[in-house]
């Protein structure tokens, strides 16, 4: 399938089609908060994001910034050709558990060392995720972990027909 036509970029937006492949990792000056089960399980300004062509950013937060007990080991693993082997984590907040809703790279590949003590979370499985107070939308499709905010222009990988992008 050929690359789709990128959406127009409005003032203050960035196009996910300008992101690189292989992905770039960068620190950002943003505040990320995640709520589950009526509990704020993390709010931090120590934020790293991974940018990859056609994907909204994936936000990685320090494991140590999460509320005690909100992350526990889960079954399963996966492999990213760029970042390496990932492990999965269950996320707990209030009386809710989201099985396998977070992941991290304990021993990331060269160039992705900033991810070693950080975790990313699927927004769709949380009560609410925000970036600088803006409630995010999960990346379409349920497989990828990007967070969509108003400052992004797509289209985003994960929509129907995007498997070959």
Structural domain contains residue 3: no
Domain that holds residue 66: 15-153
Whole-structure pTM value: 0.96
What would the mean pLDDT of 33-44 be, rounded to a whole number?
A: 98
Burial of 132 (0-12, 13-18, 19+ CB in 10 A): middle
Structural domain contains residue 165: no
Number of domains in the chain: 1
Q: Is the pLDDT of residue 25 over 90?
A: yes
Q: What is the mean pLDDT of the chain?
A: 96
CATH number at residue 52: 2.170.150.40
Structural domain contains residue 23: yes
Q: Give the model's pLDDT for residue 164.
A: 84
Structural domain contains residue 114: yes
């Amino acid at each position: 399938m050929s690359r789709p036509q990128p959406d127009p970029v409005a003032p203050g937006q960035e196009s996910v089609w300008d992101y690189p492949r292989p992905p770039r990792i960068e620190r950002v000056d943003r505040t990320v908060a995640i709520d589950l089960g009526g509990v704020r399980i993390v709010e931090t300004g120590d934020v790293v994001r991974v940018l990859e062509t056609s994907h909204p950013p994936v936000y990685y937060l320090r494991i140590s910034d999460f509320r005690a007990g909100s992350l526990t080991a889960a079954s399963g693993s996966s492999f990213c050709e760029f970042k390496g082997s990932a492990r999965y984590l269950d996320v707990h907040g209030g009386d809710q558990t989201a099985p396998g809703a977070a992941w991290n790279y304990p021993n990331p590949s060269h160039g992705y060392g900033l991810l070693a003590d950080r975790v990313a979370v699927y927004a769709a499985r949380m009560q609410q995720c925000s970036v600088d107070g803006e409630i995010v939308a999960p990346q379409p499709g349920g497989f990828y972990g990007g967070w969509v905010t108003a400052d992004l222009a797509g289209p985003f990988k994960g929509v129907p027909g995007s498997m070959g992008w």
